[in-house]
Structure 1
């Protein structure tokens, strides 16, 4: 074993002892170039879905910044419905909704997916009527105008009419 490899393994072992390695490395390493080795990474396991509190007879809302792969949303919706949630809504800022996502949403326990129009997704909406869009173009334009003119952003969010 070369000196550099020994030092790398020693550092990796000490990291694992105190839990600093994220994601954890595997001892074997893949070589890109004969003189350079990098650790192979293994993905972290996702914790099981837990529901805190009573959702029986209530509407559950799942909020995220991006929705693309819906596996975790579908699993969460199933768990919430099993626990008695009346409806399950998923809300996300950016609806990427690639591949078979519209079909997965349509076949799931999710009642509605609400996304903004930051990414076009008209085709996905045609495939799944559960997907709804909120137009945020006016608020984005006003935010840009306010930033450009050095005006208050907090004023913008305190004074939004309920119908906007």
Structure 2
């Protein structure tokens, strides 16, 4: 049972899937995916997976609907091809921001997406840096939730930033727990930017809570950079309050809308992200640094396949 590990990638991020396969010392499974003229997705497995432990690799980032649907179709194909177990490897889980009913007559789309993955036939989910950790409970199956924080912290330690000048900055009140985690591992002081949301796409930042930033090296951490409005607004506040250097960092580089132009104009020395999502050439900023999560995902896949503990990867 589960004796043969098979890693199959969708079209969302084959480059990262190949990195993970190289880490595992295997080749990617053979699958043919195509689009019909009307936009429907076609899928055919080009190898036997009967009785195998299959890991389907597909972040559901932009275009979210296409990538999510492709994942569901791949799950169904593997189920009907008699895979012994199907684990969906979703480095970035789309629709995660719609995780609660915060107004009347709105959906909880994160739960809907989870239901679709379960109904399609997945047996397990491996994901990374969910927008809200409680989304794990939306799945009626085991979820392994990894964090990119140790990898990002390792990079910032390599910069040898002076501890007495380092300030870990939370871009809003909702990211305080994340900022505290980074502060424990990197040291430095803690500062929080007071963010007020005026609409789904607009926020306002003005005040700081905590240690002053005058003459400090500010490092801002968030789970994702989408339109970059929040993180760039926080960087502007840090700059206005006297920060000497500013770094911004996130697990997921969604980079949609005006993100690239905002990041280019922001008073930021470096933008540090992971490769959980593909970054197009048009999004490759001159001050962008990308760290790979392939070893993290590869080690988790190896341990899930061997029925070993995964907890040390995210404790």
Whether contact under 8 Å (1:88, 1:110) holds in the other structure is: yes
Whether contact under 8 Å (1:67, 1:95) holds in the other structure is: yes
Whether contact under 8 Å (2:219, 2:248) holds in the other structure is: yes
Name which one, 1 or 2, has greater alpha-carbon Rg: 1
Aligned to 1:112: 270
Aligned residues: 121
Residues of 2 paired with 1:48 and 1:156: CA distance? 34
Task: Give the unaligned 5+ runs of structure 2.
Answer: 1-100, 106-197
Q: Give 1:65 shift.
A: 1.3
Residues of 2 paired with 1:142 and 1:61: CA distance? 28
- Secondary structure of 1:98's aligned partner: coil
* Equivalent in 287, 303, 306 of residue 146 of structure 1: 303
| CA distance 1:77–1:119, shift in 2 (3 Å) | same
Whether contact under 8 Å (1:23, 1:43) holds in the other structure is: no
Q: Which runs of 4+ in 1 moved over 3 A?
A: 21-25, 42-49, 154-158
Aligned to 2:86: none
Whether contact under 8 Å (1:95, 1:121) holds in the other structure is: yes
Query: C-alpha offsets along residues 59-89 of structure 1, whole Å, 9 cap, x if unaligned?
Result: 2121111111111222111110111111111
TM-score normalized with structure 1 length: 0.62
Whether contact under 8 Å (2:205, 2:237) holds in the other structure is: no
- Secondary structure of 1:50's aligned partner: strand
- Secondary structure of 1:119's aligned partner: coil
Whether contact under 8 Å (2:239, 2:267) holds in the other structure is: yes
Alignment of 1:75 with 2:223, yes or no, is no
Task: Give the unaligned 5+ runs of structure 1.
Answer: 1-20, 26-41, 159-164
Q: Give 1:43 shift.
A: 4.4
| CA distance 1:24–1:49, shift in 2 (3 Å) | farther
* Equivalent in 46, 55, 59 of residue 213 of structure 2: 55
- Secondary structure of 2:207's aligned partner: coil
Alignment of 1:135 with 2:295, yes or no, is no
Q: Give 1:104 shift.
A: 1.7
